Chain A
Amino acid sequence: MPHTIETTGTTSAVKENTLHKRNRLQSYKLFLLILPFLALLFIFSYLPLYGWVYAFFDYKPPLKLSQCQFVGWQWFTYLFSNPMQISELGKVIVNTLAMSSLGILTSPLSMIFAIFLNEIRCKPFKKAAQTLATLPNFISWVMIYSVAFALFSTTGMVNNVGQALGWFSEPVHFLDSDDHTWLAMLLWGTWKGLGWGAIMYLASISNIDQDLYEAAKVDGAGRFSLMWHVTLPGLLPTYFVLLMLQIANFLTNGLDQYYVFHNSFNMEHIQVLDLYVFLLGLGNGSYALSIALSMMKTIISVFLLFVVNTLSKVTRGESLI
């Protein structure tokens, strides 16, 4: 209301007051504009947290929560109650830890890929190798399963060629068996992620000070010494950050990969926590039990993130998040 200011003879106090009011209104208006988006985020990120209360009830889907019996920690204790349940959960946890540990053990592969690709002097070859090796990352897991099926099913390419060449007399069951399930999952994951993982390192390599290489050459360093004493140390900070994030995600293997590859043969070694939570909840309809597991998983994951972040602050003086 600018005209009121003019007519009342404008003491500076009144002027400031109205200005202040206008600013307040403006600040609320800005907030109201983003409110619909915040509401959407609230619905899909915060509201599900309320669902955790279901873990403390004997929830039967058509009923309302108020009609269900409060059971306290019963579902949590049930998870560790009888030997069968313990052994089932035990297998799931072993699989989860195994897949995550194997992922962490093979995490330097992307860095090695980048270091060796950097040694290739032929630019078009380098570019082509980088581009094509990154392609699998942009393919969905269903598509990768389709690839796996085309190549490794009993009527797939490997069996066809193998039998034609007399390597094996009868079809080998690569997909519908429980032999080397962990290894197979690791290899598919590596195949998908290797080239993509290397891109970050290639970007870091191009940021390494060229003077370091020149200085090392003057000191008589050969090709391997350069790789070992200049390139590798230059990449370690990046490696450290990615490793920390990987540790924070230790319990999260992702559902897609394990769901598409799982079948009744390999269940024993493929059922990771994410798959177990899905099959338990939406497959079996044991909602409360599944939520109890999700809850524990989330709490441990947030704790891991906190630990890793503190570790990063202490060692690098920089936080991850």
Chain B
Amino acid sequence: MEQTIRKKRHYTSGDIIFNIINYTVFTLITLSCIYPFYYMFINTISSNQMSANGQINWYPQQIHWKNYIDVFQLSGLPQAFLISVLRTVIGTVTNVLASAFLGFMFTQKKMWKRTFWYRFVVITMYFNAGLVPLFLVAYNLHLTNNFWIYILPMVVQPFNIILVKTYVESIPASLQEAAEIDGAGIVCIFTKIILPVCSPILATIAIFSAVNQWNSFQDTLIYITDSRLYSLQYLLYTYINASTSIATLIKNNPNLSGAAIANLATQQTPTSVRMTVSIIVIIPILLVYPWFQRYFVKGIMIGSVKG
């Protein structure tokens, strides 16, 4: 008690009111950012019957984890999951390597017309031909309904190249010169020296690239009509918009109905499917999130750095 009084000496009554309001507002903002995800989560592990009736709002009831197994038996979901994982892995690796390589190469003063080609790359950030022209290019190259449309347009990212270039320029040039005297070629210098030295910035790029790939929805919408190539995000969108067709999907699935009749509480409902898929979509983000945070400021720099 004495301690608190001593501490309070520094505060005026205005300060106290200010603090109360400030803490309250931030608590509310924070809650608004986590409650929706909590709400969906408790609905996926509660009795599906109660969840469909809207009885699960604050805490889970009749906890079960069966939804997470059942949902993978829906036709299309394992495939979409695979597509999303593949595009995230391949897309991230190719983007990181290409950004590192190009960022490094643009520091090589000996390159033919270096400044021109660098501007050629950077200027593409400031214009966009539009959706249909891009679609027509992809269409003519047979990239519509093709997995590689998820990867190829994302390989060369000017933002990331600028970021790596700036980073490489900050490391001593003597590092490369020493390797050149030892007879190392440009590719060898890149793999043996530049890649390891640049790893902090490459980690930043990797994480942002991975989140982008995982979250990407638009490219499926524009280029893909073949349901085998749907990403998880797109599948989730179709699930939300077509609750009734999910209901038929569940009924038609023999694996599900056998088990479902046995227990009403764990029977799949459109609500349970929607929310379970949502949680599956968000889990990878939550998993990388803790590592992610220290890259935040750097990541914002990606968006605002000068060319």
Contacts and interface: CB of A to CB of B under 8 A. Distances in A.
B132 A160 contact: no
A138 interface: yes
Contact of A31 (B98, B113, B155): B113
A138 B36 contact: no
A237 B134 CA distance: 36
Contact of A44 (B23, B127, B153, B211): B153
Nearest to B54: A160
A305 B127 CA distance: 10
Contacts of B126: 302, 305, 321
Using C-beta atoms within 8 Å of the partner chain, give the interface range for chain A: 35 or more
A294 B131 contact: yes
Contacts of A291: 130, 132-133
Contacts of B131: 255, 277-278, 281-282, 290, 294
A131 interface: yes
Give chain A's interface secondary structure class. helix
Contacts of B206: none
A80 interface: no
Contact of A33 (B36, B105, B271): B105
Contacts, number: 244
A29 B282 CA distance: 45
B121 A139 contact: no
Contacts of B275: 146, 150
Nearest to A53: B133
B65 interface: no
Contacts of B120: 38, 41
Contacts of A242: 304
A37 B99 CA distance: 10
Interface string B217-236: 11001100000000001101
Nearest to B293: A131
A51 B36 contact: no
B80 to A, nearest CB: 12
A157 B52 CA distance: 11
A138 B152 contact: no
Interface in A121-145: 125, 128-129, 131-136, 138-143, 145
Contacts of A47: 137
Contacts of A119: 18, 22
Interface in A248-300: 255-256, 259-260, 277-278, 281-282, 287, 290-291, 293-295, 297-298
A142 B26 contact: no
Instruction: Place the interface of chain B in its size category.
Output: 35 or more
B274 interface: yes
A180 B239 CA distance: 25
Interface string A310-321: 000000000111
Contacts of A128: 30
Interface in B10-56: 14-15, 18, 22-23, 25-27, 29-30, 32-34, 36-37, 39-40, 43, 52, 54-55
B155 A200 contact: no
B261 interface: no
Interface string A21-59: 001001111110110011011011111111110100000
Interface of B: 14-15, 18, 22-23, 25-27, 29-30, 32-34, 36-37, 39-40, 43, 52, 54-55, 57, 98, 101-102, 105-106, 108, 110-113, 117, 120-121, 124, 126-137, 141, 152-153, 155-156, 186-187, 211, 214-218, 221-222, 233-234, 236-237, 240, 271, 274-275, 278, 281-282, 285, 289, 292-293, 296-297, 300, 304, 306-307
5 contacts: A31-B113, A142-B236, A143-B233, A143-B281, A298-B130
**Sorted from nearest, which 7 A-B pairs have the closest CB atoms?**
A294-B130, A51-B133, A48-B129, A160-B54, A140-B215, A48-B133, A281-B132
